[in-house]
């Protein structure tokens, strides 16, 4: 398999004095893809982006852009452009000058620049704003200028470093959809850095979840959400119930995991596990449901400990064994008068084995 990637990282490492910010990361980003680097602050996602942009130079490995090894190529010689976290618009230049900057540096003819800036400002829905200064624009408008300033150069790859971080929630949601639509229209590969898992799930074709300088999982949003391969990913993205246990019994068709030495749960044999191995079961709260009577033999008996009303959903804390409490999320279909389970009520937690992820670390 020798796929041609827009950007490829080969064993890229970046060491700052004592700290290893990026630790042997290898990934391939496909042409025209909306690719997200997702992780908590300090996970190395921004450094990874800066390594691609050429603002940092790797201490090991290499970055390839369109198959060309970049080595220590400075940013101004790379066919990528960046939308910076705080936009980094030039405060002494107006919108036109900001957007035209890249073309001026590439010695594009004056008339051509005028034409392309006009087109670009229309594309980002800022027509007629040419002569405003950045400090006269709202956050959302500045964001669009930063986008126009980068996209006007027709880069092979656009790097975006938490570009929506400074905007308020409503505007951010609107911009997410707009960005995604824009990306599909221009067909440029986007590499998007964010710590907001919802944002990454909404916009991305594929996501790389990073932690402590390493890529923990790479895949489509559904894959990352439904089939997290390790505890960090399951925990960081969405809400998850973790049940610690050990493998008590194995046979050809199922694995029995004993939770807290007291609660046996049977799963279809999928992964390589050995007898006695410590494992964690991960299951999303919204995959569970409550019922007054058991719907199937595997349903867990429990008692409602706490009820949390959050508008769209109702969260129930259910004690299923003396040491174990799990969260069950039920959609709020019934409204204010709808049927609810009561505090202290004895109920059954209904679940299906396909929604349980067996994590071995």
Partner 1 sequence: MNQSKASTWRLLFLISPSLFWLVVFFAIPLLLVLAMSFGQRGIYGGVEWKFTLDNFFRFLNPSDPLYLRIFYRTVYIAIITTVVSFLIGYPMAFWIAVQPPKRRNALILLLMVPFWTNFLVRTYAWILILREQGVINNLWTETIHQLALHIGATLPWLPLEGLVRVTATPLPLFGTDLAIIIGLVYGWLPDMVLPCYAAIERFDFSLVEAAEDLYANRVQAFIRVIFPLTLPGVVAGSILVFIPSLGAYVTPDLLGGAKSVMIGNVIYAQFMNARDYPFGAAISFVLMTLMLIGTLIYFRSTVAKQKGERRAI
CB 298 within 8 Å of CB 351 = yes
- CB nearer partner 1, residue 132 or residue 340: 132
- CB nearer partner 1, residue 99 or residue 179: 99
Distance between CA 196 and CA 191 in Å, rounded?
A: 15
Which residue matches tokens 């006269």?
136
Span 66-125, contacts to partner 1 by CB under 8 A: 74-76, 80-82, 84, 86, 88-92, 101-102, 105-106
Beta bridge partners of 351: none
Q: Does 139 bind partner 1 (CB under 8 A)?
A: no
To the nearest whole angstrom, how small is the minimum distance from the Cβ of residue 78 to partner 1?
Answer: 8
CB 191 within 8 Å of CB 33 = no
Interface pick for partner 1 out of 2, 109, 111, 135 (rule CB under 8 A):
135
Distance between CA 16 and CA 14 in Å, rounded?
A: 7
Q: Does 143 bind partner 1 (CB under 8 A)?
A: no
- Fill in the per-residue mask, 153 to 192: x = in contact with partner 1 (CB under 8 A), - = not in contact: x---------------------------------------
- CB nearer partner 1, residue 52 or residue 179: 52
Closest of 158, 33, 153, 165 to residue 87, by C-alpha: 165
Distance between CA 194 and CA 165 in Å, rounded?
A: 8
Contact window for partner 1 (CB under 8 A) among 33-41, 146-154, 240-248, 334-342: 146-154
To the nearest whole angstrom, how small is the minimum distance from the Cβ of residue 92 to partner 1?
Answer: 5
Interface pick for partner 1 out of 5, 13, 55, 263 (rule CB under 8 A):
55
To the nearest whole angstrom, how small is the minimum distance from the Cβ of residue 338 to partner 1?
Answer: 50
Q: Does 149 bind partner 1 (CB under 8 A)?
A: yes
Q: Does 53 bind partner 1 (CB under 8 A)?
A: yes
- CB nearer partner 1, residue 124 or residue 273: 124
Distance between CA 248 and CA 281 in Å, rounded?
A: 14
Please tell me the count of residues contacting partner 1 according to CB under 8 A.
Answer: 27
CA distances (Å), origin 198, targets 39, 168, 238, 339: 12, 15, 8, 30
**161 Ramachandran zone, left/alpha/beta (phi>0; psi -120 to 50):** beta
Residue 101 C-alpha from the chain's centroid? 31
């Amino acid at each position: 398999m020798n796929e041609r990637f827009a950007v490829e990282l080969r064993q890229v490492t970046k060491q700052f004095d004592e700290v290893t910010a990026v630790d042997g990361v290898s990934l391939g980003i496909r042409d025209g893809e909306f690719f997200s680097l997702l992780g908590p602050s300090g996970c190395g996602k921004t450094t990874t982006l800066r390594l691609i942009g050429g603002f940092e130079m790797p201490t090991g490995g290499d970055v390839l852009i369109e198959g060309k090894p970049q080595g220590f190529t400075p940013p101004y010689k790379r066919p990528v452009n960046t939308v910076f976290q705080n936009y980094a618009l030039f405060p002494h230049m107006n919108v036109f000058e900001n957007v035209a900057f890249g073309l001026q540096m590439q010695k594009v003819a004056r008339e051509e620049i005028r034409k392309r800036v006009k087109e670009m400002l229309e594309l980002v829905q800022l027509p007629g704003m040419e002569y405003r200064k950045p400090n006269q624009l709202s956050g959302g408008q500045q964001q669009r200028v930063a986008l126009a300033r980068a996209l006007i150069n027709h880069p092979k790859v656009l790097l975006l470093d938490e570009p929506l971080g400074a905007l308020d929630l409503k505007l951010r949601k609107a911009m997410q959809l707009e960005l995604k639509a824009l990306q599909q229209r221009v067909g440029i590969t986007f590499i998007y850095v964010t710590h907001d898992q919802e944002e990454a799930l909404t916009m991305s074709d594929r996501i790389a979840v990073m932690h402590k300088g390493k890529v923990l999982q790479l895949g489509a949003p559904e894959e990352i959400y439904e089939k997290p391969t390790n505890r960090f990913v399951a925990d960081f993205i969405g809400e998850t119930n973790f049940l610690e246990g050990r493998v008590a019994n194995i046979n050809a068709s199922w694995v029995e995991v004993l939770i807290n030495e007291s609660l046996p749960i049977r799963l279809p044999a999928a992964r390589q596990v050995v007898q006695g191995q410590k494992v964690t079961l991960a299951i999303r709260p919204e995959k569970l449901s409550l019922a007054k009577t058991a719907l199937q033999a595997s349903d867990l008996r429990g008692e409602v400990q706490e009820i949390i009303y959050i508008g769209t959903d109702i969260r129930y804390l259910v004690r299923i064994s003396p040491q174990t409490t799990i969260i069950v999320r039920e959609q709020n279909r019934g409204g204010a008068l709808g049927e609810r389970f009561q505090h202290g009520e004895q109920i059954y937690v209904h679940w299906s084995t396909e929604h349980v992820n067996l994590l071995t670390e």
